[in-house]
Amino acid sequence: MKFMQLKIPTLGLLLLTATLSATPALAATVTYNLRADLGSITMPDATVVPVWGFADDTAGANSGTVTVPGPQLKAAPGDTLVINLSNRLTVPVSIIIPGQRLIPTPTSAGGRVMSFANEVAAGATSALTFTPLKAGTFLYESGTNHASQLPMGLYGPLVVGPGVTGQAYPPTATNAGTTYDREEVLLFSDILARFDKTLNKYVTYNSDMVAGSNPNIANYSTLYYLINGKSFPDTLTPGVSAPPGQRTLLRILNASGHNYMPEISGTYYDAAATPQPHAFSTQVIAEDGNLYRFAKPGVAMVLPAGKTLDAMLDLSGAGSQGYYAVYDRRLGLTNASKFPGGMLTFVASWGPTENCSPFKGDVNGDGRVDLIDVILTLRLVLSGGYNANADVAPVSLSGLPCGNGAAGGALTIADALLLLQKAIGLNSY
Amino acid sequence: MKRINNLTIGCAFMLLASASTASAYVQYPYDIDNNPQCWTNWVALGVGVCPSGQARGPEDVDWNNDGIYDAPSLLPNGKPSATYMHLSASDGMAKMADGTDMYIFSFSNLTGTRDADIMSAMFHAEISAPTIDVSEGQSFYLTLSNIGMVIRPDLFDPHTVHFHGYPNAASVFDGEPMASFGIRMMQELTYFYQPYGPVYDALNAQYVDPGSAGTYMYHCHIEATEHMEMGMLGNSIIRPAQDGTSVPNVADGKTYTKFAYNDCLSGTDSLCGSTGYDVEKAIQFTAFDPVFHQADFDAQPPPFATITPVYFLLNGRSYPDTISPTPILNSEGYASQKLDAKVTATSGQTILLRLSNLSVKDFVNIEAPGLTFNVIGMCARQLRNPGPDGFYGTADDQDLSYTANSVMVGPGESFDVIVRTTGVPVGTYYLTSRNLDQLNNNGVERGGAMTEITIQ
Amino acid sequence: MNNSKMLWRLLLVALLVVASPICKAHAMINGLTGTSFNFTAKSGHITAGDGASLLFWGFADTSPTGSGVVQYPGPTLILREGDTVTVTLSNQLAEPVSLLFPGMTMISSTAPVFNGGSKAKLSSLAPEALPNGTQTYTFKATKPGTYYYESGSNQPIQLRMGLFGGIVVRPATYKALPLPNVVPYGLNAFADPPANTTRHPQVRTNYNDSTGIGGVAYNPSNAGDLTTAYDREYLVIASEMDPDFQKWMEFGGTYDLSKWRSNYWFFNGRNAPDTMDMPNSAVLPTQPYNTMPLAHPGERVLIRLVNMGQEFHPFHHHGNHSRVIAVDGNLLSSNPAASGADLAWLAFTETLIPGKTMDTIFTWTGANLGWDIYSDSPRVRPYEYMADHGKTYQPNILPAQPQTTPPVPTPALKLPPQAVPVILPTIEQIIAGANYSGSPYLGMSAPLTPGEGGFNPLNGYFYMFHSHAELEITNNNTFPGGMLTMMGIVPWPDPALGPLDNLDPATDMYMP
């Protein structure tokens, strides 16, 4: 998704930035046009869930599509972020960004707070300004009756930075590992539902909200567990990539009201006889946009509701390819109570010229590896033809069908044999 | 919740009062009203003339029978070297923010109450219970009077005070009844604690322990799941010996006289003043399941397996009651919830939030959008490590404090959070659970575990 | 707390303390050692703390010398740093099972299993053993620390059913250290590491005893680094069960996984009071591991904490703070080569986090109470705090102020009294617990009302170690139970009775 960004350097902000940080970039005003509106998302089991979310209206009023999470906003440290928020919902809405400067302008109704700040009435449009921006990973989210509105989908990620290319935060003497080669955003959230005995099916919190009832959140439990608005296996498209030899910054956010536990399958394979112990390591380097004094290594991360973490997935010492699971250790691994699903995705770790996908071998693209794929491959072997998807042998020492495509690529009987083993269940790769 | 029949209370009161043979025996070996012979009010209240010798008042108790009530000496910071508190344990009602009365067990403050009036605390349980607030170096005498339950006279439950987190506790004063004992109904028990200051190793001329200051909590540990769900919970603070001294904080350029911890054990300590504050608030999270409380009210077995909290409380109140400056009155007209949870500071002041959680089930992730949390303490210890040499205040110490937008507080945990307001826009911010199901009052939206932080 | 079963179990506690052979089996972590293991995944039943029988899936040690009995949690693997380890998994369950070893360096394949190559048909996160099949895993235990293994298949079901276990990796320097086996106690015993002084009587430790039970959890930074040294160690694996889920798995019917709600909470596969029963108890054949920490004052007790459940559990220990020295097998250190555990923190409640481990060191001395836990005995006891004793040394319990020069003891300040400074209630006024000796002093006793106390033969101090989500100290609607045990501080033998070295070398426990 691309966004038009208006960068207007201003003298005042320039000075402000200069005093706040040593960021060499010019402070700019970054403007986004967002619309809060009704939309829907579809779960892997084809359930359609109505949502309230944010849409990117850069191309014109009401032009964008509501997504959950909302569009990823980007800006540089010291920038001024202006969000022109158009509210097409029937209730007031707002945007706050915990961790960024907020001018408190609360509104109330019935003697109780409605919005913490930045309220935009139903049908209205307002320019919301956040300045100066602090570097890091942040959630932008509704600050209006948020216990009610956040489960509907009114949240998204804001990435501020890097101030210096490839450097998540200015490194410190004790937390020097802030440089990265590539970054991925993983935003965790969920969909709540109740089981309706009369209808004999789950009814989502969102459906009840859209239907105009005033649901009590206590009556709902989590039915779908989402990463970037998707449940497994939809999370694999496009999925997460972290090539060996590189450092990948995972920007991890939790927009839900529950506490989750992302765990990266920390097993690591290296063909060398004396593997480096930290060849695969995950280090949480920052929390809520604040660089830790010391990075925290570990295989699992505590991700409470509303929290953001920056985790460095360091494969710079990794000697082999891998396909590493990222999953919620609190077992949010189901779609409507069925495994597999939920907060589960994989980190594809292989080089740019390689393809080690465990889904290789589906030569005819029918969604499975079977005898037809074996026959098609055999034909190619006999005719001297090539299909990268059938190039599965040799299997890497980590057990992935990397093939030899990177080394020139030709199909041999070994590929067909391996596919045959796969098709009849003798080999899982 | 049913209305309480006043007649029931009266009958129960008389029953228990007549059954009472022991009177309150508050143990505190010092004179605190400058009358070394007896308690001045003993005379003023017309109870009797001031007797000689073995006279007892609710304050001046000559526990060692030497006939003299000495004033406690003063600590270097001017505070008395001894202090005491007298708590009752009873039942009562608490008013939820949606108007529901909830049957509770808890403590109330009897400090200074004369013997004959102690039973008046029956059915006056308070949530949060009165705050224990003591200083390092003070000998602390805590008397607990178990005065019985009005609604549940069938429950002959003992009670205790568990000073949760107290370091190197001895079993006898730990309040955990398996390893010690609970006090029977109509009896008193005095606990003794000696919150200690920085421990100096004279041989090495270094501090080996920064002292016992910190944010604690207390609760009854009898049938703990039941008595805690029923509300026998309170804040507890030990203040550092450093309080009263002026220590500049290098980081923010301010000089403080109040601190969460002894953060400046040597002049070269880089963390000097880092726990200093101008305004503080102890805020304790808990949660109530009215079904459980009703079952106790109705003398039914406590339904542990189905506990589902629907009231999420800060200092015994849910929003918007959390911000009320006046006590919340229960349906009996008693001020059952005296503590608010609102924080007010002027721009530039430094706020210390002492956050704790005594829910029997729920973790709470607390945030205040727009404000930044500097987490400087956890579990009543400053987030620092003395380094390889084991000595505090030396160059190899490690600062373990961190900055975040929110802090997850588990049941039985405490965190100390500094919020600096210099340069922060004035106005009202909201300190709120980010666990979204904790933000309603039994289904009424915009309630629960939320309060205000106003910066003027 | 008049649960008769609880009292019966506490009687066993008493036995543990008195009988040294049982102690010997106790003050260590029960588990399997070696480099080659045979596991079989199968089903069995456990007995909950309230007597309920619950279906579970677990692992059995089916090596030639193994018990062959499926257990909850699975066998603990006790490995050495640098070991290359092989685990052969046989599967007698009706669905595929696999093993993940987070934190280990895998040598065998780590590829996930997608049936038919279909994205939607994920079967396992690692190579799997099909029903009646086998799978072999090879890994290197690269780093010392506390770890776990768990199923990588159908985790929402299989982890709730119990397919997990603990791993302890001992450092290469475990028993070969230049650490002192004798450290001073007294005034400076609270320094970490203890200050180098010979002014005080000394205590023998287990850190470097080739026959003893102590050691180091991680490789020390230098000869003086005692930050991970311990005298006794215990492993605590937390987990939980929803009885309705377990019944559904056993008997079928309708069940909504989104409504899963735990009502049994386990330490090492047992609910209280069974946590305090003996290990390998005949009445708990599928739950061989207990949780019953015991120590003398001043000893360092390493508690390795693992959460294999899906919920957060706030692990609260009475008595004192613990020092958290490692998380997920990573020493909390700014520089492991030089600084020891200098990023460790102190806590009285450590939240156990699903899929994470924590190593903590607990020490209790009774220091700084303002009274002497040994009453007015003229003798100085091991780890006795001089200021509390108040006889030999200048008290340093002064409420000192921050200053750059050492505080000068002020004569005007009252010395702390040696005895408990209040009059305790009479036995008629109290209801005493089973572990109360009747005396406030360590090693002493006094009469109690018949039927109270009695389960504390050496007159130790007991401390509840439990989940502070207090709902979790119940067993499916019955209090007490769940994640609860009693930690015992057993008095050191009286030095007047003989040298400390007369202790049982394997357990260091005093035998009356």
Give the gap in angstroms from C-alpha A333 to the nearest C-alpha of chain C. Answer: 6
Asked if C348 and B412 come within 8 Å (Cβ–Cβ), the reply is yes
pLDDT computed for residue B380 by the predictor = 98
For B38-196, strand residue ranges (E) read 82-95, 101-109, 129-135, 139-148, 162-164, 181-183, 187-193
Rounded mean pLDDT, C126-147: 94
The CATH homologous superfamily for domain A187-349 is Cupredoxins -  blue copper proteins (2.60.40.420)
Q: What is the DSSP string of C384-418?
A: --HHHH-SSS------PPP-SSPPPPPTTSPPPPS
Asked if C328 and A298 come within 8 Å (Cβ–Cβ), the reply is yes
Residue C443 belongs to some domain of the structure: no
Write out the residue limits of the CATH 1.10.1330 domain(s) in chain A: 354-429
Tell me which chain A residue has its CA closest to the CA of residue C331: A297
Q: Give me A141's structure tokens.
A: 């989210």
Asked if A218 and B443 come within 8 Å (Cβ–Cβ), the reply is yes
Residue C197 above 60 pLDDT?
no
A410-429: b (≥16 Cβ within 10 Å) or e: ebeeebbbbbbbbbeeebbb
Q: Which helix (H) or strand (E) holds C166?
A: strand C164-170
Tell me which chain B residue has its CA closest to the CA of residue A140: B369
CA dihedral B214, B220, B221, B225 (to 10 degrees): -110
In whole angstroms, what is the distance from residue A296 CA to residue A285 CA?
Answer: 6
Q: Give me A393's structure tokens.
A: 């042998």
pLDDT computed for residue C175 by the predictor = 75
B12-44: b (≥16 Cβ within 10 Å) or e: bbeebbeebeeebbbbbbbbbbebebbbbbbee
Query: Which residues face A204 on adjacent strands?
Result: A193
Of the options 2.60.40.420, 2.30.110.10, 3.30.930.10, 3.90.1150.110, the CATH number for the domain spanning A11-160: 2.60.40.420
pLDDT computed for residue C512 by the predictor = 30
In whole angstroms, what is the distance from residue B102 CA to residue B291 CA?
Answer: 10
Of A160, B434, B388, nearest to C343 (Cα)?
Answer: B388
CB distance C301 to C509 below 8 Å? no
pLDDT computed for residue A427 by the predictor = 76
Residue C492 above 90 pLDDT?
no
Residue C15 belongs to some domain of the structure: no
- Per-residue pLDDT band for B14 (boundaries 50, 70, 90) equals very low
Backbone angles phi, psi at C198, to 5 degrees: -110, 15
pLDDT computed for residue C268 by the predictor = 98
pLDDT computed for residue C147 by the predictor = 96
In whole angstroms, what is the distance from residue B427 CA to residue A75 CA?
Answer: 27
In whole angstroms, what is the distance from residue B415 CA to residue A133 CA?
Answer: 28
pLDDT computed for residue C222 by the predictor = 84
Beta-carbon contacts below 8 Å between A and C:
153
Of B220, A418, B161, nearest to C470 (Cα)?
Answer: B220
Query: Which residues face C76 on adjacent strands?
Result: none
Rounded mean pLDDT, A364-369: 86
Indicate the angle between helix axes A371-383 and A413-423, nearest 10 degrees: 180
Three-state SS for C26? helix
What are the chain A neighbours of C156 within 8 Å (beta carbons)?
331, 333-334, 339
> What single-letter amino acid sits at A307?
K
The CATH code of the domain that includes C96 is 2.60.40.420
In whole angstroms, what is the distance from residue A94 CA to residue A143 CA?
Answer: 6
pLDDT tens for each residue of B344-390: 999 999 999 999 999 999 999 999 999 999 999 999 999 999 999 88
Backbone angles phi, psi at C158, to 5 degrees: -70, -35
Residue C66 belongs to some domain of the structure: yes
Asked if A330 and C258 come within 8 Å (Cβ–Cβ), the reply is no
pLDDT tens for each residue of A108-153: 999 999 999 999 999 999 999 999 999 999 999 999 999 999 999 9
Query: Which residues face C430 on adjacent strands?
Result: B183
Rounded mean pLDDT, B393-400: 94
Q: Respond yes or no on whether the N-terminal peptide bond of residue A394 is cis (omega within 30° of 0).
A: yes
pLDDT computed for residue C371 by the predictor = 83
Of the options 2.120.10, 1.10.3470, 1.10.1330, 1.10.10, the CATH number for the domain spanning A354-429: 1.10.1330
Residues 6 or more apart from B436 whose CB is under 8 A from it?
A146, A147, A150, A151, A217, A256, A257, A305
Contact status of C367 with chain B (Cβ, < 8 Å): yes
CB distance A377 to A366 below 8 Å? no
Rounded mean pLDDT, B392-414: 96
Nearest to C355 among A279, A300, A358 (CB): A300
Rounded mean pLDDT, B287-314: 96
Average pLDDT, chain A: 89
Tell me which chain C residue has its CA closest to the CA of residue B387: C342
Three-state SS for C62? coil
Contact status of A107 with chain B (Cβ, < 8 Å): no
What are the chain B neighbours of C413 within 8 Å (beta carbons)?
73, 81
Asked if A147 and B427 come within 8 Å (Cβ–Cβ), the reply is no
In whole angstroms, what is the distance from residue A281 CA to residue A266 CA?
Answer: 7
Average pLDDT, chain C: 82
pLDDT tens for each residue of B147-199: 999 999 888 899 999 999 999 999 999 999 999 999 999 998 999 999 998 88
CB distance B37 to B69 below 8 Å? yes
Of B290, B288, B7, nearest to B151 (Cα)?
Answer: B7
Interface of A with C in 297-336 (CB under 8 A): 297-300, 302, 322-325, 327, 329-331, 333-334, 336
Asked if B208 and C370 come within 8 Å (Cβ–Cβ), the reply is no
Average pLDDT, chain B: 88
Rounded mean pLDDT, A6-20: 41
In whole angstroms, what is the distance from residue B44 CA to residue B253 CA?
Answer: 51
- Per-residue pLDDT band for B69 (boundaries 50, 70, 90) equals low
Quick one: what percent of chain A has pLDDT higher than 90? Answer: 72
Residue C428 belongs to some domain of the structure: no
Of C142, C187, C197, C190, nearest to C169 (Cα)?
Answer: C142
In whole angstroms, what is the distance from residue B316 CA to residue B295 CA?
Answer: 20
∠ CA B298-B152-C1 to the nearest 5 degrees?
Answer: 100
pLDDT computed for residue B185 by the predictor = 93
Domain count for chain C: 1
- Per-residue pLDDT band for A6 (boundaries 50, 70, 90) equals very low
Nearest to A304 among B408, B425, B439 (CB): B408
Give the gap in angstroms from C-alpha A76 to the nearest C-alpha of chain C. Answer: 31
Tell me which chain C residue has its CA closest to the CA of residue B77: C401
Q: Which helix (H) or strand (E) holds C150?
A: strand C145-150
Residue A21 above 90 pLDDT?
no
pLDDT computed for residue B436 by the predictor = 97
> What single-letter amino acid sits at B290?
P
Beta-carbon contacts below 8 Å between B and C:
307
**Alpha-carbon distance values, B127 to B124, B285, B291 (Å):** 10, 11, 18
Asked if B176 and C463 come within 8 Å (Cβ–Cβ), the reply is yes
Residue B20 above 50 pLDDT?
no
How many other β-carbons are positioned within 10 Å of the β-carbon of residue A316? 17
Quick one: what percent of chain C has pLDDT higher than 70? Answer: 75
Lowest mean pLDDT among A129-138, B76-85, B233-242, B401-410: B76-85
pLDDT tens for each residue of B107-118: 999 987 777 788
Tell me which chain C residue has its CA closest to the CA of residue B264: C402
Lowest mean pLDDT among B155-169, C99-113, C151-165: C99-113
What are the chain A neighbours of C161 within 8 Å (beta carbons)?
none
Q: What is the DSSP string of A194-248?
A: EEETTTTEEEEHHHHHHTT----GGG-EEEEEEETTB-TTGGGTT-EE--TTSEE
In whole angstroms, what is the distance from residue A367 CA to residue C4 CA?
Answer: 61
Of A159, A185, A9, A180, nearest to A80 (Cα)?
Answer: A9
pLDDT tens for each residue of B310-349: 999 999 999 999 999 999 999 999 999 999 999 999 999 9
How many other β-carbons are positioned within 10 Å of the β-carbon of residue B294? 15
Mapping DSSP onto H, E and C, the string for B9-60 reads HHHHHHHHHHHCCCCCCCCCCECCCCCCCCCHHHHHCCCCCCCCCCCCCCCC
Residue C307 belongs to some domain of the structure: yes
Write out the residue limits of the CATH 2.60.40.420 domain(s) in chain A: 11-160, 187-349
Model ipTM? Answer: 0.92
Q: What is the DSSP string of B413-433?
A: -EEEEEEE-TTPPPEEEEEEE
Q: Give me B162's structure tokens.
A: 């568990």
pLDDT tens for each residue of C15-59: 444 333 333 334 478 999 999 999 999 999 999 999 999 999 999
- Per-residue pLDDT band for C503 (boundaries 50, 70, 90) equals very low
Other chains touching C, judged by 3 or more CB pairs under 8 Å: A, B
- All structural domains of chain B: 6-30+72-455 (2.60.40.420)
Q: In this predicted model, which residue has the larger pLDDT, A229 or C365?
A: A229
Structural domain for C52, as ranges: 29-369
Three-state SS for A382? helix
Tell me which chain B residue has its CA closest to the CA of residue C362: B168
pLDDT computed for residue A259 by the predictor = 97
In whole angstroms, what is the distance from residue A314 CA to residue A312 CA?
Answer: 6
Tell me which chain A residue has its CA closest to the CA of residue B320: A112
CB distance C147 to C329 below 8 Å? yes
pLDDT tens for each residue of C318-347: 999 999 999 999 999 999 888 999 999 999
